[in-house]
Amino acid sequence: MMNEQRDAVLEVTGMTCDGCAQSVSNALRSAGVEEVSVSWQDGEAKFIWPAAMSEDALRSAVSHAGYSTGRLRLPIQATVVSPNAENDYDLLVIGAGSAGFAAAIRASEAGYRVGIVEAGEIGGTCVNVGCVPSKALLRAGETAWSVGHNPFGGIASSLDSVQLSQVLAQKESLVQSLRQTKYVNLAQEYGFSILHGHASFISKDAVAVNGKPLTTSRILIATGSSPAVPPIPGLLQSGFLTSSAALELSEIPSTLAVIGANAIGIELGQYFLHLGSKVTFIDVAERIVPFEEPEISAALTDVLLGQGAVIFASTTIAEVSASPSGRVLRLEHNGVMETILVDQILIATGRRPNTSDLRLDLAEIATSSSGAIVVDDGLRTTNEMVYAAGDVTGAPQFVYVSAYEGTLAVDNALLGAGRTVDFTALPRVIFSSPQVASAGMTQAQAAAGGYDVVTSTISLDAVPRALVNHDTNGLFKLVAEVGTGKLLGASIMAESAGEVVQSAVLAIKYGITVNDLALTFHPYLTMSEGLKLAAQAFTRDVSKLSCCAA
């Protein structure tokens, strides 16, 4: 129950017209809320929430009117923090990765004194052992594979060998350059301090770095995450690669087992597959990339199998052991025990928040069962002077999410902005070959959220760019709301899918309908034309359209 009357926004699904909006408005007014404004196009109701009304009563009123409720958003209570010359810093950031640097830049631009504490390498996961080095190696792997798998007649090509040491040296040069120009140099440019050492709380409002106490008005925890290792019997004793270690592997393993077939596992597994390894993907889920649309999983499975991979889905690993010939995995697959022998094992079963040695208990900061820091919609922790951003909160593990949250946390912690986290239309990309990119909700997620949906799916043989490329492995799938036609989700498997999906991000964020998308210009012989064709496929048979038919 609320302590005071506050503005509120409630997400409502199932509305398709002005009459629906009026029904929701009447239900809320009858329940006792005030100044109601309902938009069926935006799927939300804005109102003043009286102190005497419970949240259950609020949701029940909408439910009885025949609609479903989603997130209840409240304004973040925040105050502007004035620079304090008596403190060492106005903002102390723990962690010098994407979230930490985005926060430091925003605070420095606003005139605050900022210190960043980092116990390891400046730049965090992305530039050092994540996005930058992995995508550089993935492109190298794709290039090696394409040399021997050219789809064009009359062009002979062959690959004698891969000098992996040279590939790694080029990757490391890129990492060092970006770390210097995009992180280290910026500290001097913006005038904030980098403190090398380990930070931990010593009280609710104080942090020590290498044992030295520091005073600050606000603290931001942005310590990121690390590869999680599953408790498989014998795994630790037998040895394995994490995603970070795989990026430094100087010899191509003849055989490789990848445990975990989501984004990281697929990307790195295919990298070694392209370099000549015989790769086996293993996952407990019933299909690879299980958070994507089933059609995407099936299409990517076909590609990997065609490139020589072996896939065990719905599979658990009973035991791992070492032998003179390599590492032995005992698998339970469809009720049958199987044994495979590999040179190396790559663990790609997710990441865990880096919170174990921060002494959060001394600061009265709550964590979840996974160790993630609990935050509200404004990224404030259970300690009102401490905020957290990025992977350490359990947020979607993308570098652009971390940077977004780092900036948002500073806006709230120091500037009193009252911003709330909004992941509507959040894009995600798997840098496989071909790429997989998605935005918004899958069909299953939309249905679970109370939406009545309709979908369209086209294979890449309907997209002229794919035909010209002689590569039709892939598809486009769109999810729209029945009645309004608003685009709710998009999934793409195609060359450059990560670039193409941005148009869908904007369409979802701003409520564009699939009809609007179908009537929008898309350049011919680009992969983005697939979005237009998929939108047209809601009402037309695109196989019966001429080139560029509108």
DSSP per-residue codes, 461-478: GGSHHHHHHT----EEEE
pLDDT tier, 497 (very low <50, low <70, confident <90, very high otherwise) = very high
Pick the CATH number of 235-349 from 2.40.30.10, 1.20.1600.10, 3.90.1300.10, 3.50.50.60: 3.50.50.60
Query: What global pTM score does this model have?
Result: 0.89
Let me know: does 36 contact 61? Beta carbons within 8 Å: no
**Helix ranges, 131-262 (H):** 131-148, 164-179, 185-190, 235-238, 243-246
**Among residues 349, 348, 346, 350, which one has the least CA distance to residue 279?**
346
Let me know: does 471 contact 457? Beta carbons within 8 Å: no
Q: What is the mean pLDDT of residues 396-403?
A: 97
pLDDT of residue 55: 85
User: Is the predicted pLDDT of residue 464 greater than 90, yes or no?
Assistant: yes
User: Is the predicted pLDDT of residue 197 greater than 90, yes or no?
Assistant: yes
Would you state the structure tokens that stand for residue 540, as one six-digit string? Answer: 């037309």
Write the pLDDT tens digit of every residue in 202-223. Answer: 999 999 999 999 999 999 999 9
Mean pLDDT is lowest, of 7-16, 279-288, 419-428, 527-536, for 7-16
Strand partners for 278:
255
pLDDT tier, 77 (very low <50, low <70, confident <90, very high otherwise) = low
**Helix or strand (DSSP H, E) at 12:** strand 6-13
Write the pLDDT tens digit of every residue in 498-528. Answer: 999 999 999 999 999 999 999 999 999 999 9
**Helix or strand (DSSP H, E) at 322:** strand 315-323
Residue-wise over 293-304: b if at least 16 C-beta within 10 A, else e? bebbbebbbebb
Q: What is the mean pLDDT of residues 429-445?
A: 97
pLDDT of residue 2: 38
DSSP-assigned letter for residue 183: I
**Helix or strand (DSSP H, E) at 405:** helix 399-413
Average pLDDT of the chain is 94
φ and ψ of 203, to 5 deg: -165, -175
**Helix or strand (DSSP H, E) at 530:** helix 529-536
pLDDT of residue 50: 84
pLDDT of residue 1: 35
DSSP-assigned letter for residue 368: -
Let me know: does 344 contact 238? Beta carbons within 8 Å: no
pLDDT of residue 521: 95
Q: What is the mean pLDDT of residues 267-295?
A: 98
pLDDT tier, 18 (very low <50, low <70, confident <90, very high otherwise) = confident
pLDDT of residue 368: 95
User: Is the predicted pLDDT of residue 157 greater than 80, yes or no?
Assistant: yes
Distance CA 260, CA 347 (A): 7
Distance CA 137, CA 270 (A): 11
Distance CA 205, CA 9 (A): 33
**Among residues 131, 130, 142, 164, which one has the least CA distance to residue 253?**
164
Which residues are annotated as catalytic? 15, 17, 20, 67, 126, 131, 547-548
Q: What is the mean pLDDT of residues 430-434?
A: 98
φ and ψ of 455, to 5 deg: -130, 160
Would you state the structure tokens that stand for residue 128, as one six-digit string? Answer: 């050092």
Distance CA 19, CA 27 (A): 12
Q: What is the mean pLDDT of residues 227-243?
A: 97
pLDDT of residue 370: 92
User: Is the predicted pLDDT of residue 3 greater than 60, yes or no?
Assistant: no
Place of tokens 């390891």: 120
CATH topology of domain 427-544: Enolase-like; domain 1 (3.30.390)
* Amino acid at site 444: A
Indicate the CATH number for domain 6-73.
3.30.70.100
Pick the CATH number of 89-226+353-413 from 3.90.1150.10, 3.30.300.30, 3.50.50.60, 3.40.1160.10: 3.50.50.60
User: Is the predicted pLDDT of residue 430 greater than 60, yes or no?
Assistant: yes
Q: Is 469 exposed, middle or buried (0-12, 13-18, 19+ CB in 10 A)?
A: middle
DSSP-based three-state secondary structure for 363: helix
Distance CA 340, CA 138 (A): 26
Task: Give the pairing of strands 206-209 and 199-203.
Answer: antiparallel
427-544 and 235-349 share a CATH fold? no
Distance CA 86, CA 65 (A): 56
pLDDT of residue 160: 83
Q: What is the mean pLDDT of residues 247-271?
A: 97
User: Is the predicted pLDDT of residue 362 greater than 80, yes or no?
Assistant: yes
Q: What is the mean pLDDT of residues 10-24?
A: 89
Please state the domain extents for the chain.
Answer: 6-73, 89-226+353-413, 235-349, 427-544
pLDDT of residue 148: 87
